[in-house]
Every structure is written in structure tokens, then in C-alpha cells.
Amino acid sequence: MSCLQTIQDYALRSIGYGERLLPREGYDLCQQFTLIGSGLIWNLYFAVLALSFGFVLANAVALAKASGNRWLRGPANGFIFLFRGSPLFIQFFIAYEALVLLPRAGIDVMGITVQTSWLTRAWAGALIVLTLNTAAYSAQIFHGALMSVPKGDVEAADAYGMTGWTRFRRVIWPTMMRLAWPSYTNEAIFLFHATTLVYFSGFPAFQQKGDALYYASYFADRTFNPFVAYPIAAGYFILATLALIWAFGRVNRRLNRHLPGAATRIRYRPLMTR
Amino acid sequence: MFSYCADPSSLEGLVWLSCYLTTATHMMFYASFGTVLLLLAITAPIALLFGFGGAMALRSRIAPLRWFGGIYTSMVRGVPDIIFFLFVPIALDQGFEWVRHQILCDSDAPVRQGNDFVVCAAAKLPLNSAAPWVHDAYGIFLAVIAFSVVFGAFAANVLSGAMAAVPRAQLETAEAYGMTPRQVNRRVLIPQMWTYALPGLSNLWMILIKATPLLFILGVEDIVYWARELGGSKTSAFAYPHPDWRLYYFLGILVFYLFMTWISERVLGRVTRRLSRGQATMGGEALRKGAPA
């Protein structure tokens, strides 16, 4: 079987197109590259969606944490402590066990039956956990940035007669983003790497369709050779991480475009979160 | 455990629970918390040592050593740690067995036959005849190495950053006093570096705590393994039948981890205060001003 044929058969296998069965013999390089790359679709799906939803949620939580109202601040602090203080792996297990307890037939809300069985699938349940997880970490970052918005900036906005929502939207929020962005880039990279945990969590991998690591461990188990499949997966992740850093660097440049010379390259400093 | 637990079927309520929670398998579950703590206690210093080596290699004057340090420290950048958790133990295991095969076996057959990895019986690690605890200890040993390699890379990243953050003037002064590079490292660079390294290292400790459930993937019988075993539904064939309680077991584990991170935050806060005493940083300045004259 030629490599082109392999790509046609397996490139979209992880989302349900192409061959139904995984290859049983051969295990040549082409198959490994194709299938592991195919699994990467799921990693990207989790990362992109969790980051987008988590970003919005994180802004809300960060503002709640900074609020003067005790009833907003308390839950925000609790949410952040819960998700930052426990391992993501355990969060996956708890979410799965809790979602399984939902009634199978669905919940009756005012005459309309809400389906619940899809929540136990990896693509939905795991996405919810990842979103909440990244929201907690990002909220902490955004809150820190909000606290370090320069006093002068806010006073200048006051002097121009901006108040309330206008002041927040035009001055405080952009400055907060600008300050938080380098740390947020690290968080995004960590979240992307955390997507590999999904198929080792309680959530089922449906019909042998999995993420990059699922296929990598499949090949490593069959060939008893970890020196091919895992480096391929690692290579894919390095490439995707570089793309992520590039994209976030573009945003960083845009956020800092009014400051000449300030928009330097983002220095990747891991460990600032997580 | 207790004398009244002799006949489980006659028990009710809290008494039943007290007997249920003290069965022999539950004792192994509690002991696995000890396994996690033991792993943390062993891994943290070894990882720090790996990190120290990596950071020193990165600053080395010998180019290949510097390249090695660079590759090692940038490992954390692009590759998910879980890939290393899966890769390093298998690779180490095969490496050890390959070496033993070369020494102990007298057959000329290649180790890798197609898709199979074949070594003779004498080269197996641990030996088939070894006691069960040897197998367990070997598994934990591989896990410790995997954790140390990964977290050593993180630590090397932190430490090299901290070494770069030590003011250059301090090192130049030491050189002006006629110290050799080795003396500069030992007497000036390393003592000064810790205050800069501490935020990163404390963060690393938190990550390490939260990575311990991954032991389960490495095949060690840790708390996740026992929670799934004990929490799964028990039929009437068991002495203590109960429905699916995995959720409650995992909630227990969650509380354990929340407590661990909470207490670590407390302790690390104190250490940070202690280390920034007398340093030319914001933290040190705040301490100096706050100190009674």
C-alpha cells in the first residue's frame, strides 16, 4: 500500500472518515505519521474550544475575584482554588463519575426532556473540564494583571471623563490583557499539552478513535518500540506549540502596538502557572 | 480490624461503615497515599539535582555540554510531559534489559526481531522468579526516574533563569577578588540564586504534587488504582456489597490534593519570606522596612 493511499485511508480516521479498523500489520513510518497526525485533530479541537470558552469565563471570574462584593468574590476564589489546587487527572475522573450519575433518559425541564447521555462522551465532558480548568488558571493570571494596571492610566481615563463600562472597555481591559498576555501564552501552551490527558481519563475513546497519544501508545504497544511513535507525537506537538507561540506573539504585538519598542518577542517562561 | 466485624451481614449504619473502611484492601488504599508521599519525597531532591546539572551544563564553556543543556531545558517547552511519562519508563526498561542481554546471555540472536523485543530469561528485569515486592519496587523506581527526568528539565529551566538573574556585578566583584570560576560559582552564584529560583521552584513543587496521579498510567498501584478498584460496584458475592461509589472515593482524593496544595502554599510562603531576608529585591526591602529598628 502506497503512502498516499495510507493518507487517504487514515488521515481523517480520528473523526470518523476513512478506514474503520486500525492497521494490523506493517506499522510503517507512513502509517504512524498519518495516524498520529490524525489524532492531533482532537488535541487541537480540545485546545481551541477550551481556550476560547475559557477565555471568556476567565475574564468574568477575574472580575468577580476583584469585586468588592463578598458574594461574588467568595465563589470566584473557591472556583480558582478548587481547579488550581487539584490535579486535572482527578478532575476528569470526578467529572466523569458525576456525569454518569445523571439519569440516562434525560432530565425533564418544564415538559422538555434535556438529553444528558452525550455529556459522558469524551468530546463533551472532557471539554467542559478543560474549559473550567483553564478558566481557573487564566482567571488567576488576569486578576494579577488587573491588580497591576497602572494607577496613572485609570486616573488619565477619569480625567477624560470616562466612567464605568467605557473606562473599563477602553482603558482597563486592554491594559490588563497587555500585562497578562505573556503569562497567558504559557497557560495556553500548558492547556494544549494537557489535552493529551483526555484519553487517559475516565472518558471513553469511541470506536478506537483517539487523540495523538492514543495512536502513539497503540503503535508503541504493538511494536514494542517506543523510539518511533512517541518521538513522532513529540515532534507534532513541538510544531503545534511553535504555531501557538507564533499566533500569540502576533496578538501580543497588536496589544502593544502603541508602545514603541515594547512589543518584544514573548519569552516563554514555563512554570508561571499550573 | 475490630472484633465486632466478624459477621459483616449483621451490621448496620455507622458500625458497618467503620468495619467497611478498615478492611485489608482499604488499608492498602491508605498505604498508597504513603506511596504518593514517598514518591514526592524521593523525586523532589533527585529532580532538583537533575535540574542543577542541566542548568550548570547550560552555562558550561564546553559546547557539546551546552547543547545538551539547551536541548534538555527546552524539552519542557514543546512536548507534553505525559509523553515522557510513557516513553522514559519503557525506554529505560528496554535499555537495562538490552545491556543485561549483551552481558548475561550467550545467544547471538538479535534483541529486536521484527516487532518483538526478545531477551533471554536471565536478562529479564526483574527476574521471573523475583518476589512480588521486587516487581513493585522496580515499577516505582522507573516511575521515579521518569518523574525526575521530566521535572529535572522544568527545574533546569527555572535554575538557569535564576542563575542569569543574579546581578552580573556580584560575579564581577568576585572575579576581581581573584576567585576562580569554580569559586565564583560555589561562593557567590549558587548562594545568591535561590531567592530568584524560589517562585519557580515552589510552582514546580505544586506541579509535581498534581502530577502524582499519573503514576496510575505507569502501572503503579497508587490511589487512583485503588479508588477505581474499591469504588466500583460490589455485588452480594463480596462481604461488603455496595453500589458504585467511585465518585466518593475520587472526592476523597480531591480533598487530599486540595489539602496538600493548601499546606504547601503556607509553607512556601514562609520559606519565601525567610530567603528574601537581606536580599536587594522588593521582597527584601519590604522586610527591611517592616523590621523593628
Cβ contact A271–B87 (<8 Å): no
ipTM: 0.85
pLDDT tops 90 at residue B61: no
List chain A residues with CB under 8 Å of B211: 87
Q: How many other β-carbons are positioned within 10 Å of the β-carbon of residue A236?
A: 20
pLDDT tops 80 at residue B288: no
Mutate which: A46, A83, A93, A245, vs B, most B CBs within 10 A: A93
**What is the residue-averaged pLDDT of chain A?**
87
Could you say which of B116, B207, B254 has the minimum Cβ distance to residue A90? B254
Whether omega before B126 lies within 30 degrees of 0, making that bond cis, reads: yes
- A162-182 average pLDDT score: 92
Could you say which of A220, A225, A241 has the minimum Cβ distance to residue B77? A241
Q: What CATH code is assigned to B13-290?
A: 1.10.3720.10
Please report the pLDDT score of residue A119 as a whole number. Answer: 83
Residue A202 · residue A93 · CB < 8 Å:
yes
Please report the pLDDT score of residue A4 as a whole number. Answer: 86
**Which has the closest alpha carbon to B194: B165, B153, B154?**
B165
Could you say which of B90, B212, B258 has the minimum Cβ distance to residue A85? B258
- A107-117 average pLDDT score: 75
pLDDT tops 70 at residue B293: no
- Give the span between the Cα atoms of A26 and A217, in whole angstroms: 16
**Could you tell me the three cell numbers for B158?**
527555572
Please report the pLDDT score of residue A262 as a whole number. Answer: 57
Cβ contact A230–B83 (<8 Å): yes
Residue of A nearest to B224 (CA): A90
- Give the span between the Cα atoms of A269 and A183, in whole angstroms: 8
List chain A residues with CB under 8 Å of B79: 193, 234, 237-238
Could you say which of B82, B112, B216 has the minimum Cβ distance to residue A213? B82
Please report the pLDDT score of residue A110 as a whole number. Answer: 74
User: Cell numbers 480625567 correspond to what residue?
Assistant: A159
**SS3 per-residue string spanning chain B:** CCHHHHCHHHCCHHHHHHHHCCCHHHHHHHHHHHHHHHHHHHHHHHHHHHHHHHHHHHCCCCHHHHHHHHHHHHHHHHCCHHHHHHHHHHHHHHHHHHHHHHHHCCCCCCCEECCEECCCHHHCCCCCCCCHHHHHHHHHHHHHHHHHHHHHHHHHHHHHHHHHHCCHHHHHHHHHCCCCHHHHHHHHHHHHHHHHHHHHHHHHHHHHHHHHHHHHCCCCCCHHHHHHHHHCCECCCCCCCECCCHHHHHHHHHHHHHHHHHHHHHHHHHHHHHHCCCCCCHHHHHHHHHCCC
Residue A85 · residue A192 · CB < 8 Å:
no
Q: How many other β-carbons are positioned within 10 Å of the β-carbon of residue A93?
A: 27
**Could you tell me the three cell numbers for A110?**
418544564
Cβ contact A98–B247 (<8 Å): yes
The shortest C-alpha distance from B179 to chain A (Å) reads 32
- Give the span between the Cα atoms of B147 and A113, in whole angstroms: 47
Contacts of A210 (CB under 8 A, 6+ apart): A14, A39, A42, A199, A218
**Which has the closest alpha carbon to B140: B36, B258, B288, B292?**
B36
- Give the span between the Cα atoms of A151 and A159, in whole angstroms: 12
The shortest C-alpha distance from B4 to chain A (Å) reads 33
Please report the pLDDT score of residue A131 as a whole number. Answer: 96
Could you say which of A81, A220, A268 has the minimum Cβ distance to residue B77? A268
Percent of chain B whose pLDDT exceeds 70? 95
Residue B45 CA: distances (Å) to CA of A235, A272, B289: 30, 21, 34
List chain A residues with CB under 8 Å of B86: 213, 216-217, 220, 226, 230
Domain boundaries, chain A: 30-150+184-253
The predicted-structure confidence for B141-190, as pLDDT tens digits, reads as follows 898 998 999 999 999 989 998 888 888 898 999 999 999 988 998 998 88
Could you say which of A97, A197, A238 has the minimum Cβ distance to residue B82? A197
pLDDT tops 80 at residue A273: no
**Which has the closest alpha carbon to B166: B131, B135, B193?**
B193
Residue A62 · residue A142 · CB < 8 Å:
yes
Q: How many beta-carbon contacts under 8 Å exist across A and B?
A: 119
Q: B117 or A252: whose pLDDT is higher?
A: A252
Contacts of B260 (CB under 8 A, 6+ apart): B209
Please report the pLDDT score of residue A271 as a whole number. Answer: 44
DSSP letter at A22? P
- Give the span between the Cα atoms of B208 and A167, in whole angstroms: 41
- As a whole number of Å, the CA-based R_g of chain B is 25
What single-letter amino acid sits at B126? P
Under the banding of pLDDT at 50, 70 and 90, the label for residue B249 is very high
- B108-117 average pLDDT score: 72
Q: A264 or A69: whose pLDDT is higher?
A: A69
List chain B residues with CB under 8 Å of A93: 224, 227, 246, 250
- A15-29 average pLDDT score: 80
- Give the span between the Cα atoms of A161 and B144, in whole angstroms: 60
Return the bridge partners of A113, or none. Answer: A108
Could you say which of A222, A237, A274 has the minimum Cβ distance to residue B79? A237
Residue B94 · residue B77 · CB < 8 Å:
no
DSSP A60-75: HHHHHHH-S-HHHHHH
Burial of residue B160 (number of CB atoms within 10 Å: 0-12, 13-18, 19+):
buried
Cβ contact B83–A233 (<8 Å): yes
What single-letter amino acid sits at A90? I
Residue of B nearest to A25 (CA): B115
Superfamily of domain A30-150+184-253: MetI-like (1.10.3720.10)
Contacts of B18 (CB under 8 A, 6+ apart): B2
Cβ contact A87–B213 (<8 Å): yes
Under the banding of pLDDT at 50, 70 and 90, the label for residue A247 is very high
Cβ contact B250–A90 (<8 Å): yes
Domain boundaries, chain B: 13-290
A1-15, A233-247, B97-111: range with highest mean pLDDT: A233-247
Residue A15 · residue A41 · CB < 8 Å:
yes
Mutate which: B75, B90, B216, vs A, most A CBs within 10 A: B90
Contacts of A70 (CB under 8 A, 6+ apart): none
Cβ contact B247–A193 (<8 Å): no
List chain A residues with CB under 8 Å of B263: none
- As a whole number of Å, the CA-based R_g of chain A is 22
